[in-house]
Amino acid sequence: MIVIRVLAVALTVLLALLLGLLCYLHFADLNSYRERIGAVVSEATGRSFRIEGDLNVDLWPQVAFAANKLHLANADWGSEPDMA
């Protein structure tokens, strides 16, 4: 009986955390993370990366993430300043 109660509490906490995360993604301003995301991607790729557009997350009817106006610097030997 105690095992069932512990599992029920754990499941309830997990569902509450998931609901909280979904609410945060729905209502939060993700554009405030543009510089942080750019720094992480720049460090990982070794090239300059910036986001000039908006970041959007849609949760219904399907989960979708959209980012606009992304710029990734080209290699030093490339002919264009931006690779993508």
| pLDDT of 84 higher than 70 | no
pTM > 0.75: yes or no: no
Alpha-carbon distances of 59 from 32, 43, 82, rounded to whole Å: 19, 29, 31
The domains of the chain are located at 2-72
Across residues 22-31, what is the average pLDDT?
A: 86
Whole-number percent of the chain with pLDDT over 90: 42
Residue 25: other Cβ atoms inside 10 A: 14
